[in-house]
Structure 1
Amino acid sequence: MQATFLIYSFLYLIVLIFLLPFEYFKRPASLRKRWIREKFGFFKKNEQIETFKPKIWIHAVSVGEVVAVSRLIKELSSKCEIILSTITDTGQKIANDRFKNYNVKVIYIPFDIPFAINKALKHFKPLAVILTETELWPNLIRIASKKMPVILVNGRMSDKSFNGYSKIKFFMKPLLKRLTLLCVQEEQYKERFFNLGAEEQKIHITGNMKFDIELREIHFPWENAIAQPVILAGSTHEPEEEIILDAFLKLNITGSLIIAPRHPERFQAVETLIKRKISESSREISFSKLTEMPSAFSFKSSTSVVLVDQMGILGSLYRICDIAIIGGSFIAHGGQNPLEPAYWRKPIICGPFMYNFPFIEEFLNHEACIMIDKASLLEILKELAENSELRQTIGNRAYQLFLNKSGATEKTLRLIEKVIP
């Protein structure tokens, strides 16, 4: 097994050499120095949390995972200092904003090479390492498990990941056996982890922690001025903005479309697209960026398009919409989180690619969500825009399912308390 890890580390280093310049320069200049330092496991002495409380290292790759484990982090931070690592810059920003009043230190996860992992573990001296969803970093698990519990929470295993890991089961089996506890979302994920080599008695079905979200009720000063109904397309990917814009412009009704791209680096490209589409339309349509909408904002026309050029508020924005469209579901991405609009009792439209969220089947079975292809988007938008009673019915069904599936965080906490001394 030691030879296998050596081969993995060697291949990882080869890939890292080629990708490092790209990953370094794609970041804002203000972040590069800290990013490269932390990725190699170098942390300043004053970055170590100087308290007598035990420390737990939690890794959440990006925004979705940070949001999902937010309640878990807040609960654990009342007794422990939390070292929260992410991979993405947006994950860093959301984590810093969300936990600024808690005992949480946000870092970039070091590269999965023994030198960097050992440096980080020696610096922070955590009592345990908690990984989220499918963040199975071999060297982190191997090295940390020799000294402390390594736990997987909100675990899931997509078809693609399972098929890929099955081809290297000889590597995955001893790796998964090193995990102290696996808290997974659903029965199918328990079976997949077990089939890959995890010990059955360590695997527990706790539910999906994304159902335990807490969303702020933000009242936007312009929300009563925006034309109704409001359609909100959240966490969109290319070319979904164009698909949704085309359908909205063909609706030919009074109303508003709010578009929130998944990645901030695409804000400018989406703004250019919106302006081009509006200029090509024969209708009078207002356009604004969210950050430029003052408190006394008034729309120049009865139809408007708003670009959300700000991170961290999408969950709260869903409250003001009448129809929610889930991004990442009209392309083979696997979909984005549909639970935030369900939280606000909003009718949900998604495309056919929602395989990242298997629970969507239950929503569909209870008619709490509408799944369509892009060719049917215009028809469904028109039906929902003209029927407020139907919108309310679908939204209420989604909210009831949301309530029925909550509680995963509490189950996970009880299990964690049994394995962390």
Structure 2
Amino acid sequence: MARDFLKRLGVPGSVGRGIARLVRMVARTSEPVFEPADLTQRLFAAHPGILTFWHGQFMLVSLLNPHGATVKAMVARHGDAELIGQALEHVGVELIRGAGSGGRRKDRGGAHALRASMRALADGATVAMTADVPPGPARRAGEGVIMLARLSGRPIMPVAVATSRFLALDTWSRMTINLPYSKIAAVGGEHIIVPRDADAATIEALRQKLETSLNEATRRAYELVGSDYTKATPAGALPASAPPAEPGFRFKAYRQATRLIEPVLPLWLASRARKGKEVAIRRNERYGLASTARPEGRLVWLHAASVGETNAALPLIAELTAREPDLSFLLTTGTVTSAQLAAQRLGPRAIHQFAPLDTRRFTRRFLDHWRPDLVVFTESEIWPNQIIEIAARNIPIAIVNARMSPRSFARWRRSRGLARPLFSRFNVVLTQNERLTRWFTQLGARCVRTSGNLKIDSPPPPIDPLALERLKQAIGARPMLLAASTHPGEDEQVIAAHKQLAGRHAGFLTIIVPRHPDRGGDITALVRQAGLTAGQRAAGQLPDAATDIYVADTIGELGTFYALASIAFIGGSLVPHGGQNPIEAVRHGAAVITGPHTRNFEDQVAALAARNGLMVVNDAASLAAATSKLLTDPDAIARIDGGARAAIDGMTGALARTADAVIELLPRMNELRRAS
């Protein structure tokens, strides 16, 4: 609405005229140098061709056309491209409206632009276009320009233009405004011809060749004018060798704030201990004081916030142990339940400690003792003091299974002065999907790869055969629903659904496994307030014929209950928590029901839904209806199970990719000996 209003006022046209005047002024007041010296002649000799450059580096490209050849530029229909389009028109460049989607679902007119570009080339006009597409990743060549060259048979002409004086805006592509009274350098790369019969491998090779050519041309152009090209390069596109962003005011303020609150942290931990959220006798670990010695040899520190992240870290530890048997591991977590899970499942070469609180003093104390050779954070763990201190010691840092909510991404974008110094210090970021790869790149991470979700490759939660047999004997043939990993606000809905199901199916039993077992007493009270009979596992009870709802409030038994039930509702999804991992239930053969709130596992849920491998409900009534349908149609359970397993088969591989990347960062034993 605001953009339309500005358009009616003629603002884009006015700004566009201003940009065009600036371009002419830069050209009048600056002396250009070309590399090769006959660059403009070479471009004219290849006319009509596809003139290609990086987004944000195109302000002076019109200077490359002294021969007056017809040029049409591909410009997006929306947003800031309106201003760019107006400026180009004022310097005599015709427009082709539309652009690639950049991985987004929104139609930005890419198909129309491709057809218009084909016509323009056929009519004898050179087409100018950026190789990278909003919203990024910046400086990554897309396939659009390659496909246009293949279909048209015309050459791709990579170019870069730089000035000694410029302003680089804080945009995804580091939009650069060239200033007058500068040195100008224009550099061209080798022209690229794409065969009409090019296969996928050839197209990818040529895409990478174009990317390399544009990066080399851009670096060379800034070198010729004596400017630092990194200042005009998006943070996520900088090479790993580039120095990380320097911490600024926001980080210094954070560091000072964490120093000031240190005196009250013992009171805070004591309060948490009284609530069962800390282990009192291990409280010193939160201050960075180790409770055990460091093992000899190479040590990898993995940090996992809670149970979900721990479940992702455990198979990675097992995989790394299998590949590098001499490695030792330090696993830190922040919750009591994750510590209990680690105690049950860690192997002999792994140690668990509670994570130090993120103050400079606690972090330094922790690092002084443990001296890790590699640090691996999981999912969304970003602790500023820890990251800065680890990097200051030249210890490689990775984040694996990386994810981030839209809300968190928006907050980090608003705090780029804090984000870039942190994310630029990661040696590698392995994300769960392509969208997250773009996000982490925009926040300043250098080496970002899409590896998939570790939880897909994780083994299913373990089963206790003896406990399973006892439960089967206690329950018998009763129809049942398992409500797994429930969160506050869901238990009431599960109880309401149980009441409906008990009226339809004689002897119906519901088993609730809360995400946090310390809620077991509260859930048991809710069941009794609803006029139902409850059994509580933490009290040593088994369900009997009189039990309506059984509350399984223990640690490490979820796998046993998945193996027990043929139907599982996955919690955290009827309330806006973001869902829990549905794959664990699938691997144990349970038909999955989920609510609508699944953002934390959206890729998995989408893949399962595409294969009809789950059912989605919105409330207690629809949960009861879905469960009743499955109970009365065993074939439906088989169909869901088959679809879910087929979906999982298409999502595996993250564990191997993650282990490969982590091992790349590990120092070899001979390197450690030389360093010592």
Q: Are positions 1:266 and 2:515 aligned together?
A: no
Residues 21-45 of structure 1, C-alpha deviation per residue, up to 9 Å, x if partnerless?
Answer: 243222258822422x11111224x
Q: Are positions 1:31 and 2:279 aligned together?
A: yes
Matched residue, 1:248: 498
Q: Is the 8 A contact 1:185 1:207 kept in 2?
A: yes
The 2-side partners of 1:390 and 1:403 are apart by: 20
Matched residue, 2:374: 128
Listed as ranges, the matches of 1:14-29 within 5 Å are 14=260, 21-27=267-273
Q: Is the 8 A contact 1:49 1:81 kept in 2?
A: no
Q: Is the 8 A contact 1:55 1:80 kept in 2?
A: yes
Q: What SS is found at the alignment partner of 1:145? A: helix
Q: Are positions 1:91 and 2:338 aligned together?
A: yes
CA apart distance, 1:92 = 0.9
The 2-side partners of 1:405 and 1:55 are apart by: 30
Q: What SS is found at the alignment partner of 2:342? A: helix
The 1-side partners of 2:536 and 2:455 are apart by: 29
Q: Which has the larger radius of gyration?
A: 2
Where do 5+ consecutive residues of structure 1 fail to align?
280-285
Q: Are positions 1:181 and 2:417 aligned together?
A: no
Q: Are positions 1:198 and 2:445 aligned together?
A: yes
**1:362 aligned residue (607, 629, 634):** 607
**2:354 aligned residue (93, 103, 108):** 108
How many pairs were matched up?
405
Q: Is the 8 A contact 1:345 1:392 kept in 2?
A: no
**2:472 aligned residue (223, 233, 236):** 223
Matched residue, 2:535: 288
The 1-side partners of 2:437 and 2:445 are apart by: 9
Q: Is the 8 A contact 1:25 1:32 kept in 2?
A: no
Where do 5+ consecutive residues of structure 2 fail to align?
1-246, 668-676
Q: What SS is found at the alignment partner of 1:12? A: helix
Q: Is the 8 A contact 1:233 1:324 kept in 2?
A: yes
Q: Alpha carbons of 1:333 and 1:14: their partners in 2 closer, same or farther (altered >3 Å)?
A: farther
CA apart distance, 1:361 = 1.7
Structure 1 segments, 4+ long, off by >6 Å, are none
The 2-side partners of 1:25 and 1:6 are apart by: 28
Q: Is the 8 A contact 1:345 1:398 kept in 2?
A: no
Q: What SS is found at the alignment partner of 1:118? A: helix
Q: Are positions 1:75 and 2:315 aligned together?
A: no
Matched residue, 1:282: none
Q: Residue type matched to 2:270 in 1?
A: Y
Matched residue, 2:302: 58
Q: Which moved further from structure 2: 335-344 or 270-279?
A: 270-279
The 1-side partners of 2:267 and 2:258 are apart by: 15
The 1-side partners of 2:602 and 2:652 are apart by: 16
CA apart distance, 1:292 = 5.2
Matched residue, 1:7: 253
Matched residue, 1:209: 454
Q: Is the 8 A contact 1:346 1:396 kept in 2?
A: no
Q: Alpha carbons of 1:271 and 1:13: their partners in 2 closer, same or farther (altered >3 Å)?
A: farther
The 2-side partners of 1:197 and 1:135 are apart by: 16
Residues 350-390 of structure 1, C-alpha deviation per residue, up to 9 Å, x if partnerless?
Answer: 11111111211222222111112104222222212211111
Q: Alpha carbons of 1:43 and 1:382: their partners in 2 closer, same or farther (altered >3 Å)?
A: same
Q: Is the 8 A contact 2:520 2:536 kept in 1?
A: no
The 1-side partners of 2:281 and 2:632 are apart by: 53
Q: Is the 8 A contact 1:76 1:82 kept in 2?
A: no
The answer to which structure, 1 or 2, has the higher relative contact order (CA under 8 A, 6+ apart) is: 1
The 1-side partners of 2:544 and 2:456 are apart by: 35
Q: Alpha carbons of 1:344 and 1:298: their partners in 2 closer, same or farther (altered >3 Å)?
A: closer
Q: Are positions 1:416 and 2:662 aligned together?
A: yes
Q: Are positions 1:49 and 2:294 aligned together?
A: yes
**1:327 aligned residue (571, 583, 586):** 571
**1:398 aligned residue (637, 641, 644):** 644
Residues 236-281 of structure 1, C-alpha deviation per residue, up to 9 Å, x if partnerless?
Answer: 11221111111111111132211011112211111111122234xx
Identity of aligned residues (%): 28
Q: Alpha carbons of 1:143 and 1:19: their partners in 2 closer, same or farther (altered >3 Å)?
A: closer
Q: What SS is found at the alignment partner of 1:126? A: coil
Residues 52-109 of structure 1, C-alpha deviation per residue, up to 9 Å, x if partnerless?
Answer: x21111000011111112111123343311111001111111111111x321111111
The 1-side partners of 2:583 and 2:388 are apart by: 34
The 1-side partners of 2:408 and 2:448 are apart by: 18
Q: Residue type matched to 2:597 in 1?
A: F
Q: Is the 8 A contact 1:231 1:321 kept in 2?
A: yes
Listed as ranges, the matches of 1:335-374 within 5 Å are 335-359=579-603, 360-374=605-619
The 1-side partners of 2:636 and 2:255 are apart by: 55
Q: Is the 8 A contact 1:351 1:373 kept in 2?
A: yes
Q: What SS is found at the alignment partner of 1:260? A: strand
CA apart distance, 1:19 = 6.3
Q: Is the 8 A contact 1:345 1:396 kept in 2?
A: no
Q: What SS is found at the alignment partner of 2:548? A: strand
Q: Are positions 1:163 and 2:410 aligned together?
A: yes
The 2-side partners of 1:228 and 1:385 are apart by: 11
Matched residue, 1:119: 365
CA apart distance, 1:20 = 5.0
CA apart distance, 1:3 = 4.2
TM-score (norm 1): 0.91
Q: Residue type matched to 1:80 in 2?
A: L
Q: Is the 8 A contact 2:302 2:375 kept in 1?
A: yes
Root mean square deviation of aligned Cα: 2.0
**2:552 aligned residue (308, 312, 317):** 308
